[in-house]
Structure 1
Amino acid sequence: MNKIHSFLTLLFVLITCNLQAQDKEKKLKSISVGYFGEMITHPGFKVSLSYHIFQWENEKKNNKTIKKSVSINPSIGGYYHRRYQTGIVALPEFAYNRTNSKGNSFSIGSGAGYLRTFIPNTYKVTNTGDVKKVNAGYNYFMTNVFMSFDKKLKWATKNPVHLYIKPQFMYALPNFPNGVGYFALEIGLKYSLK
């Protein structure tokens, strides 16, 4: 599992570095910071970057412009589930984004990455019969599917700030018997860059 962990970490770093080296159309478009609640009530945080790979515009009959894009969003975060586990997530995501003329947007997408859990209060019995506290946890391959709704805040005019809500379903492998599903709710602020 350490090889898988190293590979996924390296892949995440390479994707992020490669995106930063792309041309102007693919530069960093926004930074998001939010509450990441695994099963809603297990508190955590998540930080994401958004790079647009493709973008285009459609003009409606009423002269309103709809902006559309495909983005890759590397993210890192974590959550705390009291007396059960703490999870750290590295999850690059692909998304289709649609922004209306008022600046509000809707996104749908999916990702694949890495989940590392840490289990508290774990003990083992040594060969001599002593009880010893140990560090325990698991490495998982994780996927997710999500929808995101962004609302432009009226007071943010120069560089728009959006309030977003992002429900998502995550699935981690391997687990008993095959995998385990998680629902997470992410709520936060997205800062758009010029």
Structure 2
Amino acid sequence: MIKYPTFVVLLFCYVLANAQTEELATKAVSVSYFGETLTHPGLALGVEHYPLQSPKHQLVWSVSVGGYLHPRNNTSFFARLQVGQRLLLGGKFMLENFVGIGYLRQRPQGGAVYRILPNGAVVENKRSGSGKIMPSVALGIGYNGIKIHGKSIKVFARPEIFWKAPFNGYYLTHFAMNTGFIVPL
């Protein structure tokens, strides 16, 4: 079985060996629907950087911000970093995978929020909301065959799992759909 560091070195050598001299975009922007199921709609905006790439493979570093609405419960906003890879199949189709870590800020909906002071008194919390850690994993598919003004636009769909922590002492699992497009800069 190949150890992880050996695999990374082999992957790096493969990408360098298959690189072409043509100029490939090293940065892109993404706009996507980020919904925790269809009933909790949201939006995400991101910037991608490709430190290693060939015509068939991209190593992707991504920074994104976004949010979603959980009606009658909370409004959530996030900022996160992701790293992943994208395999281009036959020049048009793509497979991708990502892992990430982020910060999620939740603000409750539906009235006042209260907290209990150390002396037992109950007071209204004017700065309601809570911060959470947001680890995530995603697998995606996409299409890279759309050309607009000479730029290759990628369309993707990435089902993903993300966690909110701490949540009553454990990680709360959420399923989301992240689907949108990527435009090279």
- TM-score of the superposed pair, with normalisation by structure 1: 0.72
Helix, strand or coil for the counterpart of 1:162?
Answer: strand
Q: Quick check: 1:117–1:139 contact (8 Å CA) kept in 2? A: yes
1:167-178 equivalence runs, <5 A: 167-178=159-170
User: Of residues 111, 117, 122 in structure 1, which corresponds to 2:112?
Assistant: 122
Give the distance between the partners of 1:125 and 1:95, measured in 2 at CA. Answer: 40
CA deviation string 1:142-173 (max 9, x = no partner): 10000121213445361011221111000111
Q: Quick check: 1:26–1:51 contact (8 Å CA) kept in 2? A: no
CA deviation string 1:22-79 (max 9, x = no partner): xxx997422110111013320110011110122235xxxxxxxxx1121110011000
Task: Could you list the structure 1 runs, at least 4 aligned residues long, displaced by more than 2 angstroms after superposition.
Answer: 25-29, 100-104, 122-127, 129-135, 152-157
Structure 1 portions without partners, runs of 5+ = 1-24, 58-66
1:1-194 equivalence runs, <5 A: 28-56=26-54, 67-120=56-109, 121-124=111-114, 134-154=126-146, 156=148, 158-193=150-185
Q: Quick check: 2:116–2:123 contact (8 Å CA) kept in 1? A: yes
Structure 2 portions without partners, runs of 5+ = 1-22
Q: Quick check: 2:146–2:154 contact (8 Å CA) kept in 1? A: no
Q: Quick check: 1:49–1:74 contact (8 Å CA) kept in 2? A: yes
Give the distance between the partners of 1:26 and 1:172, measured in 2 at CA. Answer: 36
- TM-score of the superposed pair, with normalisation by structure 2: 0.75
Give the distance between the partners of 1:82 and 1:44, measured in 2 at CA. Answer: 11
Give the distance between the partners of 2:24 and 2:136, measured in 1 at CA. Answer: 23
Give the direction of change, closer, same or farther, for the CA distance of 1:84–1:26 in structure 2 (3 Å limit).
farther
Give the distance between the partners of 1:184 and 1:78, measured in 2 at CA. Answer: 12
Taking only aligned residues, the RMSD between alpha carbons, in angstroms, comes to: 2.7
Aligned residues: 159
Give the direction of change, closer, same or farther, for the CA distance of 1:136–1:55 in structure 2 (3 Å limit).
same
Instruction: Give 1:97 shift.
Output: 1.0
